[in-house]
Amino acid sequence: LQSSLGSRPSYAWRSILHGRELLSKGLIRDIGNGRSSNVWHVNWIIDPIPRTPNYRQDSVIDLTLTISDLLLPNSSAWDAALVRRTFTDHDAEIILRLKPNRMQEDGYKWGFTKDGIYTSRSGYRFVDSLPEEDGSISTSLPPLEKYLWKSLWKIRAPPKIKHFLWKALSGALAVMERLRSRGIQVDSACKVCNGGIESICHLLFSCPMAKDTWERSSIKLPVAGLYHLLEMSRKSPKDSDTMFFPWILWHLWKARNGLAFEKIHYSSVSVLSKARAEAAVWFELNTAQTEEVQHSGNGTASIVAWSKPPLGYLKCNIGVSWLNAQTNCGVAWILRDNKGKPILHSRRSFTNVETKREAELMAIHWAVSDMTNTRQQRILFESNCALAKETFLNPSGFYQHQHIMYETSARLRHLQDWSFHHCVQERNIVAQEVVQSVTNDHRYHSYIAAGGPSWLQHSIAREARM
């Protein structure tokens, strides 16, 4: 935080320092033993932004006072009487609610999240609150822009596409016009059409290739850009074609990058085709199952069962059976195509697996490794491994398993396209049947074979007909 700009700073270093002022304003002292924190020199209370506390006008001010001086001897508890004598009533109440930890040294943390870790969302909220605090000219977003931000994060799309739309809306896409505005000397002409300046609006809406893409879709060319699209998606039915507009924008951007970096020309037809295909896959995988057992209109119940992957993808179902740390645990996977035909399947046993969580993570890592080793490309992984799902969604809470999560992530980079889907056990019957042969029948021999297991051919055929 104290680093200087230097005599010959790079563009990247300038960019990093550009955000340092905001970060510094949002940092607050993380109180440990309090010995290294002067009460009057560091921001250690929030009201509503980090600041130093205000002293009482009738108190004696000790300029060398540290936070540790406000604690009871050999304790993490406050000396409440001293705190109330030193600070205003309002600030004293804030201080007494803080919980120091005298077993650790003082540090810094981001003041606007529960875990003290900076997030983009908390950063923007902090920026929005700053003008009212410092009395400067308001630079916060106007009501329409605030509405746009809220609508943006609510659209149904993958996080990477939401992040892309956020960059487009905030003017942060690295188009030629934006690069020139940052002092980078580049040709600002659009490389796709050679007919205009490559701005964000031009690339996504005004460029002839973009116009042709929108005209070929069933979505009318948005006269008001992203505002128009976000408003349409909010009002349209969930099955409307309007819902896949984020993928059109995403693939227009990818087509531009393909031309700029790989010299590959994409037509509006291919852009639209790729956008529709990816959107269809994503919506199929992210359609919430409201009930484990669904009922048809005539009152009869239909059992939730395995579903086929979309055309061009293979589905890898993963099963795990773990009893205890002293018994071999079993893992299995079966790979099927969009017609339900089994391509490959495998079974394996592991020893000395301490917990079920570890067994599930090992099963997923092993299945991913086998997919890359057999040179598969587009895989939908599906399992009922709830503990593994929890671990991958919150890796910071499971430090002891980070090595296997890292190795799994490294393996996934070798696949062209992939996704993970958690399912109920009824959607994972075949993989679970295979894996039960390890723990129930003590079949510890590991193998990988073409097709599916012969003794489960009836179950596989039944699921293929659904």
Q: What is the pLDDT of residues 96-107, one digit of tens each?
A: 988 887 778 898
- Co-location of 166 and 83 in the same domain: no
Start-to-end CA span in the chain (Å): 60
Q: pLDDT tens digits for 215-272?
A: 888 776 644 455 556 655 555 545 456 778 889 999 999 999 999 899 999 999 999 9
**Neighbouring C-beta atoms of residue 264, cutoff 10 Å:** 10
Q: How many domains does the chain have?
A: 3
Assess if residue 343 is contained within a domain. Answer: yes
C-alpha span between 42 and 27 (Å, rounded): 10
- Co-location of 158 and 231 in the same domain: yes
Residue 289 has pLDDT above 50, yes or no: no
- Co-location of 89 and 159 in the same domain: no
Residue 133 has pLDDT above 60, yes or no: no
C-alpha span between 292 and 302 (Å, rounded): 10
Buried b (16+ CB within 10 A) or exposed e, 307-344: bbbbeebbbbbbbbbbeeeeebbbbbbbbbbeebebbb
Residues in the chain: 466
Which helix (H) or strand (E) is 144 found in, with range? helix 143-154
- Co-location of 102 and 235 in the same domain: no
- Co-location of 105 and 213 in the same domain: no
Assess if residue 306 is contained within a domain. Answer: no
The whole-number average pLDDT for the span 153-159 is 82
Mean pLDDT score of the chain, rounded to an integer? 83
- Co-location of 62 and 161 in the same domain: no
C-alpha span between 41 and 260 (Å, rounded): 50
CATH number at residue 391: 3.30.420.10
Assess if residue 308 is contained within a domain. Answer: no
- Token reading at 155: 């659209």
Residue 194 has pLDDT above 80, yes or no: yes
Assess if residue 296 is contained within a domain. Answer: no
- Co-location of 36 and 158 in the same domain: no
Assess if residue 434 is contained within a domain. Answer: yes
Domain boundary, last residue among 269, 285, 301: 285
Which helix (H) or strand (E) is 280 found in, with range? helix 268-285
Taking 3-state DSSP, the helix, strand and coil percentages for the chain, each rounded to the nearest 5, stand at 45, 15, 40
Is the Cβ–Cβ distance between 449 and 342 less than 8 Å? Answer: no
- 6 CB-side CA count, 13 A: 10
- Co-location of 419 and 325 in the same domain: yes
DSSP state string for 205-240: IISHHHHHHHHHSSSPP-TTHHHHHHHHHHHS-TTS
Assess if residue 203 is contained within a domain. Answer: yes
- Co-location of 49 and 160 in the same domain: no
pLDDT for 49: 85
Q: Which residues contact 125 (CB under 8 A, 6 or more apart)?
A: 112
User: In Å, what is the CA distance from 17 to each residue of 13, 20, 91, 159, 166?
Assistant: 6, 5, 32, 27, 22
- Co-location of 320 and 453 in the same domain: yes
Assess if residue 134 is contained within a domain. Answer: no
Q: pLDDT tens digits for 370-419?
A: 999 999 999 999 999 999 988 888 877 675 677 788 889 889 999 999 99
Share of the chain above pLDDT 70, in %: 85
Q: Which of 339, 372, 347 is nearest to 455 (CA)?
A: 347
pLDDT for 134: 44
- Co-location of 180 and 279 in the same domain: yes
C-alpha span between 151 and 169 (Å, rounded): 12
Q: What is the pTM of this model?
A: 0.41
Assess if residue 122 is contained within a domain. Answer: no
For residue 221, what are the domain limits?
146-285
- Token reading at 348: 């394996």
User: In Å, what is the CA distance from 104 to each residue of 40, 55, 394?
Assistant: 21, 27, 25
Per DSSP, which regions of 35-133 are E strands? 45-46, 50-51, 107-110
Burial of 302 (0-12, 13-18, 19+ CB in 10 A): exposed
Is the Cβ–Cβ distance between 30 and 116 less than 8 Å? Answer: yes
Domain boundary, last residue among 285, 305, 338: 285
- Co-location of 85 and 198 in the same domain: no
C-alpha span between 375 and 354 (Å, rounded): 31
Buried b (16+ CB within 10 A) or exposed e, 131-148: eeeeeeeeeeeeeeeeeb
268-285 vs 245-262: helix axis angle to the nearest 10?
130
Domain boundary, last residue among 65, 85, 110: 110
